[in-house]
Every structure is written in C-alpha cells, then in structure tokens.
C-alpha cells in the first residue's frame, strides 16, 4: 500500500473509537499526535506523541500553538463551544477537520432511505452544554440541551470555522470491542449464555449499527483521500433483520440460545425501552420506521466497508471476556435476567 | 489411560478426523484397510493390510488385542460378520457407525433411539442388492449380538465440514458466498440438522475413552434449529449483498425442488426426509456430544472447499445451479405479481 503519510492530530483518542483510529492510522504509516487531558488510558500507544490540554479550561488549546497538521479528528465533542474553540485554535493550521457527529442529528427517522439532506433537529443555543455536573461546573449558567440538537449546532460551527475543510461523519450505533455502553454487546453476551432469549419486535424488523473498526478505518481513508462534506455512516450495507442479527451472532457461540420474539405492541405496553433495554432495535414504525434503513450510498461510494457480523460478534465477546469480573457482571444495556424472565412469562401467558 | 485403538477403514471422510484426534489424545492407532486410499496418511499409525471383500479378509486381525474398534465404512453385512468374528474375545468395545437411515419411517418427526427400525437385510447378497438402511440395521444387530454391552452404535445425521465430498451442506455457504438474491426454502422455522465431522469423531473417541455402550442418534446443533437459523448464521460469516427470498414448500414441490436433494439440509413436517432433520439427541448429549459454533464449521469447511481443484469447485454435487435458481425465483415472482 502506498499512501503518503499524513500528520494526524486526534482530539481525545483514548475512549472507544479513538484507539481503533490510532491503531489503523499507525498501521497505514501515518504520524499521529494525541491531544487530551492525559487522564484516560495514559499508557496507551507509548510511541505516539501526546499533547496535554483541557478543552474546558481557558487557553486549553495552548499546546497546539505553532503546529500544523494534514487532518484533525475531533472525536468526543458534543459541546458546540469546543468546536468553535477548536476552529479558532486550528482553522489556520490544518488542511482538514473531521467532526464525529451522529445520526441523532436527524429530527426523526420516520422515512425509509433518509439521505444526508434529511430534516435535522433545531440547533441548540450556541452556548448550550450537555447535562452533567462537570459541564455545569465548567460553564456555570449555560443552558442545557440534548445530544441531537447539540450535535446539529456543532456541525454548523464546524462548517462555519472550517468551510470546505470540514468533513462531518454521522455514525449510527457504534459497536464492537471497546464499547463501554454494551448497547450491542448485550446480544452476544446474552446469546452466549443460552436458554430462551427475548427478541424484540418481529424477526423481520430491520436493525442497524456500525463496527467501530469499520467506522474508524474508513475515517482514516477519507483523510487520505482528502474528502470533505457530510456522510451518514451506519451498516450493514444491505439491510439486516433482527433474525439475521440474532442468528448471526448465535453462529459464533456454541450455546443453546433460542429466541422468542415478543411483538412491538407488547413491548411498548410493558414499557420496555427500545434501544436501551432492547438494544439495537427500535420499533419499525412511527418516528423510527426508517431508523435502520438510512441511505448510506454516499458513504459506501466513498469507501465505507463492513466486516462480517461474525467478526464483530467474535471480537465483542473476546473484549467482554477480557474485562474484570465485576464489569462483566454489570452490563450497561439490555434486560436484567429477572425482567427478561418476567416478560417472557407474561408473553407466554398471553399467548395461551 | 492411552487406548489401543483399531480403525477399520480410516482413510475416507470421517476416518482421518477420528485418527488425527485419537493420536492427538495420545492413543495408539492401528489402521486396517486395503492400503490403497491415501497410504502413508498417518506415518505414526500401524497399518494392517486386508480386504474385507476377500475370503477370510479379516484374517490379519485374528489373535491381536485392542481396547476398542471403530468400524467406519461398513454397509455390506458380510464385512461386519467377518470383523466381529475375527475380533471375537479380543476387543471389548465395538463402535459401529450406522445412520439415521436405519429408521423405518423417515416421514415421522422426532425419532429417538426407540423409533422402529427398517426390516434388516439378509447377510448374503441379494438381487437387487439390499438398500443402505436395511443393511445398517443388520450390521447393528450383528455388532450387538457379538459384543452385548460392548456394542456402541452411532447413528449420525448429515455429516458436514472439511473433507465432505457430497456438498450437501457446502451448497449453502457456497451459494451465500456468491451473494445476490438467494432462493430459501419454506419457512425459517422448518427443521434443519447437521453435525460437524470433528464434533462427531471427537465424541466417538470419548465414547471409547469412557467405554460407553448403547445406541445413539448423533446430529446437531444442540437445540432445535430452523433452516433460517442456518442460512442467517452462514450469512453472518460474509459481508456481501446476499439476501433471501423465502419460497413456500408447495411451490417448490410442484417444481420438483425437494427437501435434502435440490434444497439441501432443509426438511419440513411431513417431508419424506423429516426424520433426518428432527432426530432427538438428548441421549448423545448426556453421553458427552458437543458442538462447534456454526461459524467455525462454515469457515473451516469453506477453507477446505476452496482448496479443491477448480473444476470440482464449479460443479457442486448437491443443490441447484444458479440458472435453475434464477428461473424458479422468476416463476415465483410472476406467480405472486412481484418483481
């Protein structure tokens, strides 16, 4: 492979998707610099240059002064003012600014095949911050907004600061090794445990997600290509149903899992929370009818590829089993065993 | 405790898997066959040459002692009469590979080991020759009569994985690997069963180690499985545009696309093959049968398939051609007013 080595500055870079990005960039021969507080996983990538700064502090970007980059990748931001400050600090010193946005910028996902031009949320106020004590402490009195509107405002600010140099990627649910939310991991872990597994909705409902490695590897390749503009970034490429996802995951386990599909009406009546308690899945109707059927033609044309589900499931399980026992015992998404059992019992009682 | 193992045959499809595993577990293996197929495959195994079709063809086995014998290829009743007679008193356990074809009524679902058997074939050859199932039943009886509690009868279903020359399982990964619109038979919950050749043979070695006698259905997966689970599980091993169009059984039957033949692995309630896809395996599981993940079977099976000569890879021995599939899908869509 012959790509010209890039000088990449990665803001954050130590969370879920960052390490995958860094590893791939290094594998491709690029020169990587990390910029963060130096608090999370400080021993990661010992050979990589690290610049320290706190984006919540005045003059937090001082360490970046006088340096130039071919591309800056902004991973963790949902604070519009961070994006503006990054613009002020970096607009003159980088050829590209890659902003990781989200499909949550869309006002709803009612339609099937929503493109990058679909209707978005109203942007949050410029000075808005996410909820959370850390943000309140750093920005006393700032209005609080939610994820989607904050990201819409951030995208606008990124475009205002960087213009044609702005590359905006809107991922859907990011999954795979390193995921701290368990919003996909619940399924491989649950299926590996075996027995009767509650499956949401219909076997034919669509689901969507993207392996963190597919996302980050593609982002590095976009930098290599000098891409700009806005991209929906979710998979799988050809549509996937819950039956395909669950049986596909089961194919990598030697377990005895079997699935009972509990229909959407029942799920909603019982106040089970789609996506959180029933990970990945959203009702295939109403405002989420097109949730898992976004138009991703632009991203695929620009080189987004997808690993087989079996690889995502295997790597997710390997990561999970490498975690400490307490972490393994407390999944952060999905149904508790008791709630799953109760719901299944109620469903079977109703069917009788 | 290392065992002294005698393997009759051992050079075909399941034999090499069994021998390799037995050697890996530290057992001593003697092969008995004509010495014509894959000679020298296992240099550390003793080789005794003999032809089970020849008069007194088992003579070379007389007077030797083993802990357990595995009889892998025998259908001809005279072979088993000959081997049990030659080994009499010198081998306490005889593991005979039979088949679910030993059962009488293949159209009955969920056969367990007490399901009625076929009428057994006579020992002497007949015209026309006795069929596979009745011959297997005769051989089971010969082994039980000679060995009593030392008889271990294994009745596998569809054996799949690396080395399978029938392509009866391979058809599906082969087809899914090609991508595009795929004709999928019946309903996703229609029954499907198979067993990875390595799961089967490793378990057979354990049956010897544990001196487990009795009769066992031997197929998987662990739990009741639908054809949809199989196809979706295989699809998870690929990342192409494979997608399935499910065509009802009645439509397929009218066009002579039959379960197990043109549509491999698949069966349905009332099909003349349903016993092969619904065998009860609780007894084998209790006796230690385990199951690899489907994705492992697919990966290893396809790695082996891709190592075959190009001409063989192009012409599968089971399933339907891409042309036939396209024609049937077109007919199905025309009949349903969809494009």
Which domains occur in chain B, in start order? 4-160+195-218 (3.40.50.720), 171-193+224-272+293-331 (no CATH)
The closest alpha carbon to B96, from B70, B122, B68, belongs to B70
Residue B233 has its nearest CB partner, among A238, A239, A247, at A247
What part of A 39-98 touches B (C-beta under 8 Å)?
A: none
List the structure tokens of A187. Answer: 């399924």
- The answer to whether A309 contacts chain B (CB < 8 Å) is yes
Give the chain B residue nearest A250 (alpha carbons).
B233
Give the minimum alpha-carbon distance from B285 to chain A in angstroms, rounded to a whole number.
12
Residue B228 has its nearest CB partner, among A247, A252, A305, at A247
- Reduce the DSSP state of residue B311 to 3 states and report it: helix
Helix A186-193 / helix A242-250 crossing angle, nearest 10 deg: 60
Interface test with B, best of A244, A257, A304, A313 (most B CBs within 10 A): A244
**Do the interacting molecules here have an ipTM over 0.85?**
yes
- The answer to whether A218 contacts chain B (CB < 8 Å) is no
pLDDT in tens, B86-132: 999 999 999 999 999 999 988 889 999 999 999 999 999 888 888 89
Counting one residue from A and one from B, how many pairs have CB atoms under 8 Å apart? 70
Q: Is the pLDDT of residue A18 over 90?
A: yes
Q: What is the DSSP letter of A24?
A: H
- The answer to whether A244 contacts chain B (CB < 8 Å) is yes
Instruction: Taking residues A45-63, report their average pLDDT.
Output: 91
Set of chain B residues whose Cβ sits within 8 Å of the Cβ of A258: 223-224
Give the minimum alpha-carbon distance from B243 to chain A in angstroms, rounded to a whole number.
8
Residues of chain B in Cβ contact (below 8 Å) with chain A: 188, 222-224, 228-229, 232-243, 290-296, 298
pLDDT in tens, B14-54: 999 999 999 999 999 999 999 988 888 999 999 999 999 99
Q: Is the pLDDT of residue A352 over 80?
A: no
Instruction: Taking residues B188-200, report their average pLDDT.
Output: 97
List the structure tokens of A69. Answer: 């980059």
Task: Kindly tell me the number of DSSP H helices and DSSP E strands found in chain B.
Answer: 12, 11
Residue A308 has its nearest CB partner, among B239, B292, B293, at B239
Domain chopping of chain A, boundaries: 1-171
Residue A251 has its nearest CB partner, among B239, B290, B294, at B294
Residue B235 has its nearest CB partner, among A248, A252, A254, at A248
- Reduce the DSSP state of residue B63 to 3 states and report it: coil
- Reduce the DSSP state of residue B143 to 3 states and report it: helix
Give the minimum alpha-carbon distance from B206 to chain A in angstroms, rounded to a whole number.
19
Set of chain A residues whose Cβ sits within 8 Å of the Cβ of B245: none
| φ, ψ dihedrals at A300, nearest 5° | -65, -40
Give the chain A residue nearest B243 (alpha carbons).
A238
Looking at per-residue confidence, does B62 or B126 come out higher? B62
Set of chain B residues whose Cβ sits within 8 Å of the Cβ of A188: none
pLDDT of residue B315: 86
**Under 8 Å CB-to-CB from A257, ≥6 apart: which residues?**
A190, A191, A192, A193, A194, A195, A197, A250, B223
Set of chain B residues whose Cβ sits within 8 Å of the Cβ of A253: 293
pLDDT of residue B311: 87
Beta bridge partners of A130: A145
pLDDT of residue A254: 87
Determine if the peptide bond prior to A142 is cis (ω within 30°).
no
State the average pLDDT for chain B. 95
pLDDT in tens, A144-175: 999 999 999 999 999 999 999 999 999 999 99
Distance of CA A7 to the CA centre of its chain: 24
pLDDT in tens, A324-343: 999 999 999 999 999 999 99
Q: Is the pLDDT of residue A1 over 80?
A: no
pLDDT of residue A2: 67
The closest alpha carbon to A86, from A100, A104, A102, A105, belongs to A100
Q: Is the pLDDT of residue B337 over 80?
A: no
Instruction: Taking residues A60-82, report their average pLDDT.
Output: 92
Instruction: Taking residues B275-302, report their average pLDDT.
Output: 96
Set of chain A residues whose Cβ sits within 8 Å of the Cβ of B294: 250-252
**Banded model confidence at residue A78, pLDDT cuts 50, 70, 90:** confident
pLDDT of residue B228: 97
Set of chain A residues whose Cβ sits within 8 Å of the Cβ of B295: 251-252, 310, 314
CB contact under 8 A, B293 and A258: no
pLDDT of residue A249: 98
Interface test with A, best of B239, B244, B286 (most A CBs within 10 A): B239
pLDDT of residue B338: 67
% of chain B at pLDDT higher than 70: 99
Lowest-pLDDT range, A150-164, A260-274, B22-36, B306-320?
B306-320
% of chain A at pLDDT higher than 70: 99
Q: A321, A252 in Cβ contact below 8 A?
A: no
CA–CA gap between residue A325 and residue A10 (Å, rounded): 32
Residue A251 has its nearest CB partner, among B188, B236, B240, at B236
Interface test with B, best of A176, A206, A218, A248 (most B CBs within 10 A): A248
Instruction: Taking residues A32-55, report their average pLDDT.
Output: 92
**Under 8 Å CB-to-CB from A276, ≥6 apart: which residues?**
A183, A333
CA–CA gap between residue B218 and residue B97 (Å, rounded): 10
CB contact under 8 A, B222 and A308: no
List the structure tokens of B293. Answer: 């993940």
CB contact under 8 A, B223 and A248: no
Helix (H) or strand (E) holding A264: helix A264-269
Q: Is the pLDDT of residue A141 over 80?
A: yes
Give the minimum alpha-carbon distance from A244 to chain B in angstroms, rounded to a whole number.
5
Under CATH, what is the fold of the domain A1-171? Rossmann fold (3.40.50)
Residue B241 has its nearest CB partner, among A203, A237, A250, at A237
């Amino acid at each position: 492979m012959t790509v010209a080595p890039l000088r990449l500055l990665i803001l954050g870079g130590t969370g879920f998707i960052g390490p995958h990005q860094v590893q791939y960039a290094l594998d491709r021969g690029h020169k990587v610099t990390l910029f963060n507080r130096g608090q999370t996983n400080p021993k990661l990538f010992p050979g990589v240059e690290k610049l320290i700064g706190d984006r919540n502090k005045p003059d937090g970007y001082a360490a970046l002064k006088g340096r130039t980059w071919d591309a800056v990748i902004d991973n963790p931001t949902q604070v519009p003012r961070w994006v503006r400050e990054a613009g002020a600090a970096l607009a003159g010193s980088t050829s590209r600014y890659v902003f990781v946005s989200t499909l949550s910028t869309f006002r709803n996902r009612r339609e099937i095949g929503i493109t990058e031009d679909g209707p978005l949320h109203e942007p949050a106020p410029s000075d808005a911050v996410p909820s959370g004590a850390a943000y309140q402490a750093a920005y006393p009195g700032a209005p609080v907004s939610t994820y989607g509107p904050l990201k819409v405002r951030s995208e606008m600010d990124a475009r205002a600061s960087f213009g044609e140099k702005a590359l905006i990627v809107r991922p859907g649910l990011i999954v795979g090794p390193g995921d701290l939310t368990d919003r996909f991991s619940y399924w491989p872990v649950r299926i590996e445990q075996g027995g009767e597994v509650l499956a949401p909705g219909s076997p034919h409902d669509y689901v969507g997600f993207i392996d963190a490695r597919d996302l980050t590897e593609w982002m590095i390749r976009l930098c290599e290509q000098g891409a700009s503009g806005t991209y929906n970034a979710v998979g799988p490429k050809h549509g996937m149903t819950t039956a395909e996802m669950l049986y596909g995951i089961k194919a990598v386990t030697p377990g005895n899992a079997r699935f009972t599909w509990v229909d959407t009406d029942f799920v909603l009546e019982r106040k089970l929370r789609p996506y959180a308690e029933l990970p990945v899945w959203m009702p295939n109707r109403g405002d989420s009818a097109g949730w898992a059927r976004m138009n991703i033609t632009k991203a695929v044309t620009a080189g987004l590829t997808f690993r087989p589900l079996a690889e995502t499931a295997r790597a997710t399980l390997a990561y999970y089993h490498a975690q400490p026992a307490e972490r393994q015992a407390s999944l952060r998404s999905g149904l508790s065993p008791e709630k799953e059992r109760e719901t299944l019992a109620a469903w079977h009682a109703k069917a009788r | 405790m290392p065992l002294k193992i005698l393997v009759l045959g051992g050079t075909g499809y399941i034999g090499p898997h069994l021998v390799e595993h037995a050697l890996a577990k530290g057992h001593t293996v003697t092969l008995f066959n004509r010495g014509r197929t894959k000679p020298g495959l296992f240099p550390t195994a003793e080789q005794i040459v003999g032809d089970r079709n020849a008069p007194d063809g088992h003579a070379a086995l007389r007077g030797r002692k083993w802990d357990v014998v595995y009889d892998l290829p025998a259908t001809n009743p005279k072979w088993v009469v000959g081997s049990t007679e030659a080994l009499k008193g010198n081998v306490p356990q005889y593991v005979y590979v039979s088949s679910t074809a030993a059962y009488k009524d293949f159209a009955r679902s969920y056969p367990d080991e007490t399901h009625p058997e076929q009428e057994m074939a006579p020992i002497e050859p007949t015209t026309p020759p006795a069929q596979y199932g009745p011959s297997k039943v005769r051989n089971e009886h010969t082994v039980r009569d000679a060995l009593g509690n030392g008889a271990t009868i294994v009745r596998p279903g569809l054996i799949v994985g690396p080395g399978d020359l029938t392509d009866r399982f391979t058809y599906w990964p082969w087809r899914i690997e090609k991508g595009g619109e795929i004709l999928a038979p019946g309903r996703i919950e229609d029954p499907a069963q198979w067993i990875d050749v390595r799961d089967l043979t490793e378990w057979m070695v354990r049956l010897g180690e544990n001196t487990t006698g009795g009769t066992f259905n031997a197929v998987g997966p662990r739990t009741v499985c639908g054809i949809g689970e199989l196809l979706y599980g295989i699809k998870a091993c690929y990342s192409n545009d494979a997608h399935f169009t499910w065509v009802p059984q009645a439509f397929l039957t009218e066009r002579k696309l039959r379960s197990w033949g043109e549509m491999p692995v698949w069966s349905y309630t009332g099909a003349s093959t349903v016993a092969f896809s619904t065998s009860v395996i609780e007894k084998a599981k209790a006796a230690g049968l385990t199951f690899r993940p489907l994705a492992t079977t697919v990966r290893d099976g396809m790695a082996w398939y891709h190592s075959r000569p190009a001409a063989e890879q192009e012409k599968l021995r089971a399933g339907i051609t891409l042309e036939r599939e396209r024609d049937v899908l077109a007919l199905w869509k025309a009949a349903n007013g969809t494009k």
